[in-house]
Amino acid sequence: MAEVIPFKGILYNPQKVVADETLAPPYDIITPEFKEALYKKNSYNIIRIDFGKDEDGDNENENRYTRASRFLSDWLEEGILINDAEPSFYCYEITYELNSQIKKTRGFLGAVRIEDLGSGRIHPHEMTYSKPKSDRLNILRYCSANTSPIFSLYSSTERYTSSLLEDIVREKPFIEAKNGDGFMHRLWRINDKASIETIKKEMSDKDIFIADGHHRYETSLKFKKEMSDKGLNKTGDEPFNYTLMFLANMEDDGLTLLPTHRIVEIDSDINTKETLREYFSIQKAGSAETSEEQARQKMFEVMHKNTHSFGMFLTNSNTYYTLLSTGLKTELTLPECLKNLDVTMLHKLIFEKLLKIEHYEYEMDPDIAVERARKGSFEAVFFLNPTKIHDVKEVALAGERMPPKSTYFYPKLLTGMVLYKF
Choose among 340, 146, 327, 116: nearest CA to 244. Answer: 146
The total domain count for the chain is 2
> Residues 205-255: pLDDT tens digits?
999 999 998 889 999 999 999 999 999 999 999 999 999 999 999 999 899
Evaluate whether residue 401 is within a structural domain: no
Q: What is the mean pLDDT of residues 263-280?
A: 95
Residues 297, 313: contact at Cβ < 8 Å? no
> Residues 58-78: pLDDT tens digits?
999 999 999 999 999 999 999
Q: 119: how many CB neighbours lie within 10 A of its CB?
A: 7
Task: Please list, in sequence order, all residues whose beta carbon lies within 8 angstroms of the beta carbon of residue 193, skipping any fewer than 6 positions away.
Answer: none
Q: What is the 3-state secondary structure (H, E, C) of 8-21?
A: CCEEECCCCCCHHH
pLDDT at 131: 58
Q: What is the mean pLDDT of residues 159-174?
A: 97
Check whether residue 319 and residue 251 sit in a common domain: no
Check whether residue 304 and residue 229 sit in a common domain: no
Q: What is the mean pLDDT of residues 73-101?
A: 97
Evaluate whether residue 399 is within a structural domain: no
The CATH number assigned to the domain holding 289 equals 3.30.1760
Check whether residue 202 and residue 59 sit in a common domain: yes
Check whether residue 205 and residue 331 sit in a common domain: no
Is the predicted pLDDT of residue 320 greater than 70, yes or no?
yes
Distance CA 262, CA 370 (A): 10
Check whether residue 222 and residue 284 sit in a common domain: no
Residues facing 323 on adjacent strands: 282, 310
Q: What is the mean pLDDT of residues 381-400?
A: 93
Evaluate whether residue 391 is within a structural domain: no
pLDDT at 215: 86
Check whether residue 249 and residue 333 sit in a common domain: no
pLDDT at 132: 58
Evaluate whether residue 393 is within a structural domain: no
pTM (2 decimals)? 0.91
What does DSSP say about strands 420-421 and 261-264: parallel, antiparallel, or unpaired? unpaired
pLDDT at 273: 96
Distance CA 9, CA 71 (A): 17
Is the predicted pLDDT of residue 130 greater than 70, yes or no?
no
Q: Determine what percent of the chain is predicted with pLDDT higher than 70.
A: 99
Evaluate whether residue 403 is within a structural domain: no
Residue-wise burial string across 203-225, b where 16 or more C-beta atoms lie within 10 A, e elsewhere = beebbbbbbbbbbbbbbbbbbbe
Q: Determine what percent of the chain is predicted with pLDDT higher than 90.
A: 84
> Residues 351-381: pLDDT tens digits?
999 999 999 999 999 999 999 999 988 999 9
Check whether residue 225 and residue 306 sit in a common domain: no
Check whether residue 230 and residue 266 sit in a common domain: no
Q: What is the mean pLDDT of the chain?
A: 94
Check whether residue 195 and residue 295 sit in a common domain: no
Q: What is the mean pLDDT of residues 66-92?
A: 98
Distance CA 78, CA 409 (A): 35
Distance CA 117, CA 123 (A): 6
Check whether residue 211 and residue 357 sit in a common domain: no
Predicted confidence band of residue 128 (pLDDT cuts 50, 70, 90)? low
HSE on the CB side for 60, CA within 13 Å? 0
Range of the domain at 32: 4-256+409-421
In terms of residues, how long is the chain? 422
| DSSP labels, 322-348 | EEEE--PPP-----HHHHT-HHHIIII
Evaluate whether residue 34 is within a structural domain: yes
Q: What is the mean pLDDT of residues 14-19?
A: 96
Predicted confidence band of residue 124 (pLDDT cuts 50, 70, 90)? confident
Evaluate whether residue 329 is within a structural domain: yes
Choose among 370, 268, 354: nearest CA to 311. Answer: 370
Evaluate whether residue 404 is within a structural domain: no
pLDDT at 105: 97
Check whether residue 187 and residue 308 sit in a common domain: no
Check whether residue 368 and residue 224 sit in a common domain: no
* 226 membership: H or E segment, kind and range: helix 214-229
